Amino acid sequence: MSDEKMSVIVQTIAGMLFPMVLIFSFYVILHGHLTPGGGFQGGAIGASAVALLIVAYGSKTIEKKMAEENLSIFESLGGLVFVIVAIAGFILASAFLSNFLVGEPLFGQIPGWGESPLNSGGFLPILNIAVGMKVIGGLSAIVLMLALVSREVKEQ
Amino acid sequence: MKKLAFIGFVVFCLFLFYAAYDIRDFGAPPSSMDDRIIGSYNSTTGEWEYGAVNETGANNAVTSVVFDYRGYDTLGEATVLFTAIAGVMLLFGGRKHE
């Protein structure tokens, strides 16, 4: 199916929207311990940006830019970071997934009344980033894979 | 049947409005139940005394529950996502070699 792409207007608007949606997704992930949201929600927003590109440009063009194997590796990397941080809590502190960074000067600053510093929360931002990587990579890989397969089914 | 559904809908809406009257006002000070969860702030020393903010250092108490107090749950959720992607890759991953 060669006419899978949409018109130039849609492609241009999607290309302009893609970085903004991605930046909003990173904002939701990085501020997960301060504002509503977190890794899962921000990751779903980022995956929706990739889905927008797939709808506008067609799955074949997107597959050349980002292979689903790389997305899958990205997703597994997020899971690996999550488990490594959890085991580090087991080694450095009392238990598996215990917050070993809270109280430390760099990340564990406890905010006062009405303050919201970015480097608070102990290991919560790290876990948010790990889960965000997981969800962005995973949902993008699923959407891209299903789009490619449905395209191949239509061709036959 | 349609009438019954409409009556049920109206009764449910009335119940919701009745419940909404019991919500505390916007911007009202935290109740004692919030104190147990979020913690209480001592303005003379400038420190949190107990609760989620004191223990995890995160302003968002929901995130501190999801990633700290119930971290195993989040790990399981991530495993569910991993399993879903592994299933999709297993089904469709080898289509190039056919």
pLDDT (tens digit, 9 = 90+) per residue, A77-129?
999 999 999 999 889 888 888 888 887 888 777 887 777 888 888 889 999 99
Residues 78-107 of A with CB under 8 A from B: 78-79, 82-83, 86, 97, 99, 102-103
Contact A124 B67 (CB under 8 A): yes
Q: What does pLDDT average to over chain A?
A: 88
Question: Taking each helix axis from N to C terminus, what angle separates B71-92 and A68-92, rounded to the nearest 10 degrees?
Answer: 150
Check if A67 contacts B (Cβ < 8 Å): no
Judged by CB atoms closer than 8 Å, whether chains meet at B88 and A79 is answered as no
Of residues A40, A120, A152, nearest to B58 (C-beta): A120
The interface pTM score, or ipTM, of the predicted complex is 0.83
User: How many A-B residue pairs are in contact by the CB < 8 A criterion?
Assistant: 115
Integer Cα distance of B66 and A82 in angstroms: 13
- pLDDT at position A27, please? 94
Structure tokens given for A7:
């018109």
**pLDDT value at residue B28:** 64
* CA gap A101, B33 in Å, rounded: 27
Integer Cα distance of B98 and B94 in angstroms: 7
Q: What is the pLDDT of residues B55-97, one digit of tens each?
A: 888 888 888 888 888 889 999 999 999 999 999 988 887 766 4
For the CA atoms of B52, A106, A131, A114, the dihedral, rounded to the nearest 10 degrees, stands at 40
> Does the distance separating the beta carbons of A34 and B59 come in below 8 Å?
yes
Give the minimum alpha-carbon distance from A42 to chain B in angstroms, rounded to a whole number.
Answer: 13
Model pTM score: 0.82
**Over residues A34-41, mean pLDDT:** 89
Q: For residue A107, what are its two tokens?
A: 């990340």
Chain B partners within 8 Å of A97 (Cβ): 68, 71-72, 75
Residues whose CB falls within 8 Å of the CB of residue B8, separated by 6 or more in sequence, listed in order: none
Q: Is A35 at the interface with chain B, CB within 8 A? A: yes
Distance of CA A114 to the CA centre of its chain: 29
Q: Which two tokens stand for residue B52?
A: 């989620």
> What is the reported pLDDT for B31?
63
Would you call B60 and A34 a contact, using CB atoms and an 8 Å cutoff?
yes
Mind listing the pLDDT tens digit for each residue in A129-143? 999 999 999 999 999
Q: What is the structure's pLDDT at B98?
A: 46
- For chain A, the structural domain boundaries read 2-155
Helix, strand, or coil (residue B85): helix
